Amino acid sequence: MYQIDFENPVHVFFIGIGGISMSGLAEILISEGFKVSGSDRQKSPLTETLISKGASVYYGHKKENLTPRPDLIVYTSAIKNDNPELAAGKELNIPIITRAQLLGQMMKNYKMPIAISGTHGKTTTTSMLSCILLEADTDPTLSIGGIYKEIGGNFRLGKSDYFVTEACEYTNSFLSFFPKIGIILNIEEDHLDFFKDINDIRNSFHKFAKLLPSESDGGALIINGDIPNLEEITVSLPCQIITYGSSSYCNYIPTDITFDEFGHPSFILTKSDGTNEGSYSLCVPGLYNVYNACAAIVAAKLLGIDNNIISKALSDFNGTDRRFEYKGKVNGFSIIDDYAHHPTEITQTLKAAKNYPHKTIWCVFQPHTYTRTKAFLSEFAKALSLSDKIILADIYAAREIDTLGISSGTLQEEIEKLGHECYYFSSFEEIENFILKNCTKDDLLITMGAGDVVKIGENLLRK
């Protein structure tokens, strides 16, 4: 496999350069003196940023974009074999690696690479740990799977030994990484267009954990102790294993959890021997964020960061884009946007919403991919029923073409079977008009999904 050398900058072409992770990697290479070019389907703030930093960006995928000939091509799992640039690269015998392989190679350039994995919560936990490291003046390099306003995007280039990144399990991307500290937040069924079943997923997380070096070499796994059959994931690992969670046998347990009027939690982190490890207050809502914070706190303690710094950083942390993000008010009702697109995430978000000021909770949900919608149809219906009233948009197909005979209308039927009020509209304009007629003062509207459903709230704020 081609090995990138920071001491010998070359010309790298990114297929899908506007992706949240790809754009960050492109920025790292630009800052290291590499010539960077790439393509994407359409213009975006991320591609505009890259152009301002010196990258050449093409819109639309064409083999002509490989002129002048690059020394290396990087592509994402969303790119298919019939992509004209990928096909042309193979014909021209240009070295080709995946985004994950490039990220893994970059990690080798840092003495303390930290990778945060899990079915849910990766972006928030990565951002929480990033916030702590920034507060501690450690000057870390950061690669986040979402926009973190404190660093002005999804990437930050530092000059220290710290490198923090998300580690996504989809297509086994995280198995190309070389972390010294790994975090596993949770393990659930998802990405069933790639994985066979939950056992296949658990096996991948076990392989990820096995990438960590031995405890004598500084390797450590921080893992949610509430994961079922935890020993299957941790068996035969040479690294240090640190658990956190609600179970009494975990090394760290959040206790005395309370919520303020906006659903923001406060808690005490307690060690298994009863030692008080500090009190923490968050400015992001929900019980799930208590456990995200626990993972970040344990990692920071492992790095020797002072507890006062950790506490201050978390109290100042206001979240990332599209994670229970307050967008504004229209006609007296509040608009929140959230990235939740899995039944567990929806459940957690709507439970958090119940602690947020509201008269009626409206959830506008855009299902993400036909595969996920079909696999979790009944689970989606049950999770969404935590909202008082539900509005469905069309399924966001993403990389998929086959509808599998499923639609948002199918999900609407499942929700209505449970006796809940649910509406379905095929266009955003219809949804926006319905909301303006039916949402009233002091209601809470949540736009939810991994597609472009965020536009609905933004359009309402412009009207």
d(CA 376, CA 166): 25
- How far CA 231 is from CA of 110, 209, 408, 462, in Å, comes to 30, 12, 39, 52
Residue 56 token pair:
């050449």
Q: Exposure of 9 by Cβ count < 10 A (0-12 exposed, 13-18 middle, 19+ buried)?
A: middle
Cβ of 386: how many Cβ atoms within 10 Å? Answer: 18
Work out whether strand 72-75 and strand 11-15 pair parallel, antiparallel, or are unpaired: parallel
Residue 118 token pair:
């899990």
Q: Considering 49, 76, 119, 123, which one is annotated as catalytic?
A: 123
Quick one: three-class SS letters along 13-80? EEECCCCHHHHHHHHHHHHCCCEEEEEECCCCHHHHHHHHCCCEEEECCCHHHHCCCCCEEEECCCCC
Cβ of 56: how many Cβ atoms within 10 Å? Answer: 16
Q: Considering 122, 180, 327, 374, which one is annotated as catalytic?
A: 122
Alpha carbon 248 to its chain's center = 28
Work out whether strand 325-330 and strand 333-338 pair parallel, antiparallel, or are unpaired: antiparallel
Secondary structure letter of residue 394 according to DSSP:
P
Phi and psi of 357, rounded to 5°? -55, 125
Helices 377-384 + 408-417 axis angle, to 10: 60
Report whether 350 contacts 387 (CB < 8 A): yes
Cβ of 374: how many Cβ atoms within 10 Å? Answer: 18
Establish whether 123 is a catalytic residue: yes
Quick one: three-class SS letters along 228-248? CCCHHHHCCCCCEEEEECCCC
Just list the catalytic residues.
Answer: 122-123, 166
